[in-house]
């Protein structure tokens, strides 16, 4: 064999060996998350990292870890509102999303305390995943470009009903979305303008080294975010022995339905005479479900839980503002109307039955008092 051929062969072998040593597996969003079908196995800790616990990440990423520790991702399992609901329907499907690192039916320790931890999104195949690579990182890194897109969030925030039986013995329709946030975003003006979920829920914040995406993950329990989502205008007019209250909701920084996410979420618009709280009337915006009797493929009749209505405010770019009209009985002399737009984690009776106090369940997004006018309402 000629020397040149030996050199070429050696180079080929060396390249193959080097490629084997440094090759990284292909990571896809679809392969990272289970949609609640099973726990999430992140695998061994990458070289240079002591463990996949959040505490290990915090040794170098203290500021980001502190943001995450105060977020609902960190409390996804221990949150009292979730635990109250889980006590009623303790389904593996719920557990696999809220304690994805747990491998037992009773999550405890780090799997419970960390909830949706750093590693659930950032560790696979013994690599730390990010939107790019850092040559100075003390551990192997892999760039997953989808991490900066809404598609990544869909791994946990877009899924259909499970095949399990729910409370009351009704079956779920597994072709119907249980959480439809990503699909709502796809139809919105935000998607058309290429504004990703991260733009609102992981805004850029300054730090000592420049800036980073916040890991506070504000959502439906963040009052400032809720208030930025919708503009509210209210007016009232007297008509004989009652008042007609008109509340107009205009989506603003809203890239999905309002409310979105968990199927129990609802928005309520209320109105009452300021002098008589008992006069309160309300209109709810929510997904409504009912158990429908249907013939089973195996014979007989079974009940299937199906969506019967969706009255939520659509995302920006999907139609005109929503105008709600509430009729308020009575006409007290000089009376003023108190109105409110509230965001609820679940319907009030359900919250009461699960021991969730009003202060945890209800946030006042916008409110005020107005003096009813005679004649046509103000525009």
- Give 97's strand partners: none
Q: Which of 64, 214, 44 is nearest to 140 (CA)?
A: 44
Residue 171 or 194, more confident: 194
Backbone angles phi, psi at 142, to 5 degrees: -135, 130
Could you identify the residue written with the tokens 């980001």? 64
pLDDT tens for each residue of 9-31:
333 333 333 333 334 567 788 88
pLDDT of residue 24: 56
Cis peptide before 187, with omega less than 30 degrees from 0? Answer: no
pLDDT of residue 167: 57
Percent of the chain with pLDDT over 90: 75
- In sequence order, what E strands does 100-199 have? 123-124, 127-130, 141-143, 158-160, 171-172, 177-180
SS3 content of the chain, % helix, strand, coil (to 5): 30, 30, 40
Q: How many C-beta atoms surround the C-beta of residue 156 within 10 A? A: 23
- pLDDT, averaged across the chain: 89
pLDDT of residue 21: 34
- Give 338's strand partners: 272, 369
Pick from 125-134, 195-204, 213-222, 342-351: least confident: 125-134
- Give 313's strand partners: 258
Residue 6 confidence class, pLDDT cut points 50, 70, 90: very low
**Over residues 310-328, mean pLDDT:** 95
Top CATH class of 223-374 equals mainly beta
Q: Hey, is 273 helix, strand or coil?
A: strand
**Over residues 246-273, mean pLDDT:** 97
Q: Hey, is 159 helix, strand or coil?
A: strand
Quote the distance between the C-alpha of residue 163 and its chain's center: 21
Taking the alpha carbons of 364, 336, 311, 254 in that order, is the dihedral positive or negative? negative
Q: Which of 241, 240, 202 is nearest to 218 (CA)?
A: 202
Q: Which residues contact 235 (CB under 8 A, 6 or more apart)?
A: 245, 246, 370, 373, 377, 378
The encoded tokens of residue 179 equal 């959480």
Residue 8: pLDDT over 80: no
Residue 375 confidence class, pLDDT cut points 50, 70, 90: low
The encoded tokens of residue 351 equal 């919250």
Q: How many C-beta atoms surround the C-beta of residue 280 within 10 A? A: 14
pLDDT of residue 79: 96
- Give 333's strand partners: none
User: Within the chain, which residue ranges are assigned CATH 2.60.40?
Assistant: 223-374
């Amino acid at each position: 064999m000629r020397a040149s051929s030996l050199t070429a062969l050696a180079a080929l072998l060396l390249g193959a060996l080097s490629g084997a040593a440094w090759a990284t597996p292909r990571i896809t969003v679809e392969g990272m998350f289970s949609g609640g079908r099973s726990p999430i196995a992140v695998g061994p800790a990458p070289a240079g990292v002591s463990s996949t616990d959040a505490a290990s990440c915090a040794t170098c990423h203290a500021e980001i870890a502190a943001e995450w520790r105060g977020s609902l991702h960190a409390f996804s399992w221990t949150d009292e509102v979730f635990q109250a609901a889980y006590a009623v329907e303790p389904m593996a499907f719920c557990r696999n999303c809220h304690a994805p690192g747990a491998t037992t039916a009773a999550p405890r320790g780090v799997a419970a305390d960390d909830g949706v931890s750093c590693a659930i999104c950032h560790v696979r195949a013994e690599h730390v995943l990010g939107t790019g690579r850092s040559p100075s990182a003390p551990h192997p890194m892999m760039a997953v470009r989808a991490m900066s897109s809404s598609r990544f969030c869909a791994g946990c925030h877009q899924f259909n009903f499970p095949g399990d039986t729910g409370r009351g013995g009704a079956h779920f329709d597994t072709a119907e979305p249980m959480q439809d946030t990503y699909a709502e975003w796809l139809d919105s003006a935000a998607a058309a303008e290429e504004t990703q979920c991260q733009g609102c829920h992981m805004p850029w914040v300054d730090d000592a080294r420049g800036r980073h995406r916040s890991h506070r993950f504000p959502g439906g329990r963040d009052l400032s975010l809720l208030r930025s989502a919708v503009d509210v205008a209210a007016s009232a007019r007297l008509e004989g022995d009652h008042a007609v209250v008109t509340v107009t909701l205009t989506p603003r920084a809203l890239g999905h339905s309002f409310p979105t996410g968990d199927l129990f979420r609802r928005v309520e618009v209320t109105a009452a005479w300021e002098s008589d709280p008992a006069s309160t009337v309300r209109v709810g915006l929510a997904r409504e479900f009912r158990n429908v009797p249907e013939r089973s493929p195996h014979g007989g009749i079974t009940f299937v839980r199906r969506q019967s209505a969706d009255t939520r405010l659509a995302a920006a770019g999907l139609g005109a503002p929503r105008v709600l009209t509430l009729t308020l009985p009575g006409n007290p002399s000089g009376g003023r109307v108190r109105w409110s737009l509230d965001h609820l984690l679940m319907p009030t009776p359900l919250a009461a039955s699960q021991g969730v106090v009003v202060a945890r369940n209800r946030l006042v997004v916008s409110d005020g008092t107005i003096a009813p006018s005679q004649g046509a309402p103000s525009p």
